Chain A
Amino acid sequence: MSEAAFFIDYSRCIGCEACVNACAECDTHRGTSMIHLETIERRDSVQTAPQICMHCEDPICAQVCPADAIKKTPDGVVQSSLKPRCIGCSNCVLSCPFGVPKYLSSIDQMMKCDMCYDRSSVGKKPMCATVCPSGALTYTSMEEIQRTRQGIPINSWKFGKEEVKTKVYVMVPREVERVEIGLVQINATPLALPNDPYDVALMLEEM
């Protein structure tokens, strides 16, 4: 088996938070979860999405850190801030396109997902990807994921004009090459209201 990689498949997520709970159990995390679960819009849908650190090839969080406190390991894992350096400014929190770093006021430091470095650096899977019961989080080889999934893994993103490449892959339909997130005008009224695919009342009206 070639080197293992991290794959996220949002379509599989069932919102159980096994990942969030297991993250806190990783020895070095000492009871604090470094990841979170996004509930997209509970009124409209049960869609949820686990958010781990995507481990950018050129991490923006590190670029904007005035204290040079965020380091990447040689194998591409972006670490939490270094305690002696972090000044708690939260530049990283604001700049991350994925909303990953969290400033913990109790310890005046930024902490984030380090892919369970104490586990993954010795050949074990990160806690979240080990326990995830839906396979929304998977840590396996590229060959294995291609063999077992219909979607394809990509790690190329575009936020406005900013291109980002990540160590972590997301599963997308075969025709997608890059996740593109356009800029949105704040307070603009959408041209058309999105349809409501999960409204049970509408499903029943189709009688």
Chain B
Amino acid sequence: MAKLPVEAPELVRVFGPTLHRVPAGGWARTTEDEKLVKTHCCFCGQQCGIQLRVQDNKVVGFEPWEDFPFNRGKLCPKGVKRYMQDEHPDRLKHPIQRVEGVGFEAISWDFAMQRVVGEIQRIQSAYGKDAFAVLTGASLTNEKAYLMGKFARVALQTANIDYNGRLCMVSAGAASKKIFGMDRSANPWSDIPKAKVILAAGANIAECAPITTDYIWQARENGAKLIILDPRMTPIARNADLFIPVRPGGDIGVFNGMLHILIERGWIDRKFIEEHTTGFDQLVESVKKYTPEYSSKIAGVPPEMIVKAAELWGPAPTSFLMHARGIEHHTKGVDNCMAAINLVIATGRIGREGCGYAMITGQGNGQGGREQGQKCDQLPGSRDISNPEHRKYIAGVWGVAEGSIPQKGLSAVPLVEAIHSGKIKGLISICFNPVVSLPDANFVREALEKLEFYTCIDFFLSETARYADVVLAGSLMEEDEGTTTNVEGRVIRHRKATTPPAEAREDWKIICEIASRLGYAEKFKYPSPKEMFEELRVASKGGVSDYYGMTWERLDETNGLFWPCPELSHPGTPRLYENGKFGHPDGKAHLIPVEWRPSDEMPDDQYPVILTTGRVVSQFLSGTQTRRIGALVDQASQPFCEIHPRLAEKYGVADGDFVKVESRRGNIVVHAKVVKTIRPDTVFVPYHWPLDRSANNCTNRAIDPVSNIPEFKICAVRLTKVDQPSDAIAMLEVQAGGVR
């Protein structure tokens, strides 16, 4: 069925998002904490250490964890207020099912399981195994990511499983694999303050990875120069030595232009290139035409900026390059990342102290979530699902016939397109809110409505869960044990602070029961997530992301271990590529020439303005959690359209006016925020909100041919000044998609 049972405002009335502001027991509580649980934030890839205060099986607050080496007690506002999702009035406490014209009604677990399993069997026998798909998330623990991949391949035997890391890390991952032969940040963060020049491209570090700020400022105290590429002057760019306000999609102009100058002036490491790389001659040939003037036209910035960037980067003794979604969310996302990485390799500044490279992982387990086999083309240990040797090894671990493991399935966007076109009829999802987070949201809603059956595991009724036939009440991060792998590649322990409330269950128990009822009880017999980790260790053994030498006990003792860690006696590998040893079979880095090409949708006469999207510091991704926390909503209550005064003047728009931002696919009405800190040809809207406030109503579904990441960072829009909307959606609370 998969249609809203009643209009959205009625669902909002019952299931929220409502705002939670006071901890369990109130502010005036006097009792001592029963427990102080050392664990990690549930939100971004920094995975900050935090201690949760527990009384009466309830999380009542937090205490900074100053001994955890990565963040040393530091937190962003999301981390500070994260515990407010516990004891939340919107929490789903039992399974529910859709009732046409009414909403949702509570059902028993037994009935919910019967329905889910019955529908899986019905759809798979009527339309084939692949007609039932799985969508998962990169905020799942390693154990759950591993479980979901195995569940899809063993219990459902569907090829079609993919995850929301497809919207996040895949361009960076693909580029790293192509050039370095491995997909992981190359260095621990402790190398950042030792670098003498830092280049951060498309990374709103202050808002999306706030803890990294201190590492960068510390580098500057030590004399480092800072180069920032971003169409907007973000807080980290304000004090940069060189801020390059690059045109969205123009980054290759800067990278190739810099490389052109590095070669011309001899700021490259010929010995390193000779000994440890391939492809340099083709690379030299490819950047010959990228003179400062030519590059400047692509990048949309003065040529002097590109020259200055090369002059800062070129002669430096040490350097660190980092990038994030700003260069990755493009139909040329992989190429953007490769052009950036070429700068690192050409100068030979990698694999030693203060010399490095990192992609700033976005989601909580953005790193580990992309290694354990929940991607459409991947098996555990970052193995390739189309490689016969890899398939054989995993089939052995799982105790199944190699031939029973499906081949490569569809990635997230084509998967939703296959739902829309009727090829996929059933869906189970966990940890993914595609109605808010995927591009072209109107298309996504249409697709969901075409499903014959949709079930979702969630702890709140997300905007996507509203479309479900059955919602299975799952668990918060702090209600379960497990591990994640942080932005550095450090595997860390999440510890259980409380048990799921009422009838809600740990996610893995729900999945294991479905598998069991499908007839695979033997393959999903785990007493706890620890046994899943034990199996994951073995499954990853000999793979690129080798966890075999890690145990939960070792992780507890060490505050985390970096993969690869192939033996129990192995200390882990904080810094990759030492002594110029790269991940390819030939041990070399493979330099790859990159040619700039236009984005899928460029501005034109009808839609003359570039829309780019991103995040604000107090909200996280699709907002399922953070739009339910009072203090975080107060800080950023609704989306806005950042617009330069020159562009605003053209449209007669003043600060605070309502503007309609409209693309070929949809529109939103939000407040204008007139600021000089953005390029005059570009507007910016953060994407955390749903319905008529969803920036993704406008964005483009086009994907990168290699990574399949969607082009969130550039689409063409037109702007109109409008009156304040007063329809039913506009009248909702702001956290639900209303406007004020």
Contacts and interface: CB of A to CB of B under 8 A. Distances in A.
A130 interface: yes
A127 B79 CA distance: 13
A131 B80 contact: yes
Interface string A1-31: 0000000000111111110111011000011
Contacts of B28: 30
A50 B91 CA distance: 34
A43 B214 contact: no
A207 B218 CA distance: 32
Nearest to B66: A130
A206 interface: yes
Given A31-B21, A133-B211, A204 B300 contact: yes
Given A46-B238, A200-B677, A200-B680, A18 B27 contact: no
Contacts of A17: 77, 617-618, 635
B217 A134 contact: yes
Q: Is the interface of B mostly helix, strand, loop or mixed?
A: loop
A43 B673 CA distance: 8
Contacts of A148: 218, 221
A48 B655 CA distance: 19
Given A30-B27, A200-B680, A25 B62 contact: yes
Contact of A198 (B74, B210, B238): B238
Contacts of B113: none
Contacts, number: 147
Interface string B666-684: 0000000111111110000
A22 B74 CA distance: 10
Contact of B206 (A45, A134, A199): A134
Given A21-B80, A46-B677, A135-B214, A200 B233 contact: yes
B217 A201 contact: no
Given A43-B674, A200-B676, A133 B75 contact: yes
Q: Is the interface of A mostly helix, strand, loop or mixed?
A: loop
A95 interface: no
Interface in B633-679: 635, 644-646, 655, 673-679
B58 to A, nearest CB: 16
Nearest to B232: A200
A14 B206 contact: yes
Contacts of B6: none
- Residue with the highest number of chain B CB atoms closer than 10 Å, among A21, A47, A132, A198: A21
Given A25-B62, A132-B74, A204-B301, A14 B236 contact: yes
Nearest to A12: B217
A22 B75 contact: yes
Given A18-B80, A43-B675, A201-B646, A130 B233 contact: no
Contact of A16 (B71, B76, B679): B76
Given A134-B214, A200-B677, A149 B645 contact: no
Contact of A15 (B218, B235, B655): B235
B74 A44 contact: no
A197 B706 CA distance: 40
A45 B238 CA distance: 8
15 contacts: A14-B213, A31-B21, A43-B676, A46-B235, A130-B64, A133-B74, A133-B75, A133-B211, A133-B213, A134-B210, A134-B217, A198-B233, A199-B676, A201-B644, A201-B680
Interface of B: 21-22, 27-28, 61-62, 64, 66, 71, 73-77, 79-81, 206-207, 210-211, 213-214, 217-218, 220-221, 232-239, 243, 245, 296, 300-304, 617-618, 631, 635, 644-646, 655, 673-680
List 10 tightest A-B contacts by C-beta distance, closest first.
Answer: A14-B206, A30-B27, A14-B235, A133-B210, A207-B302, A199-B676, A134-B213, A131-B75, A21-B80, A21-B77
Interface of A: 11-18, 20-22, 24-25, 30-31, 42-48, 125, 127, 130-135, 148-150, 196, 198-201, 203-204, 206-207
Given A16-B210, A200-B677, 14 more contacts: A14-B206, A15-B206, A16-B618, A17-B77, A18-B80, A45-B233, A131-B79, A133-B76, A134-B217, A198-B233, A199-B676, A204-B301, A204-B679, A207-B302
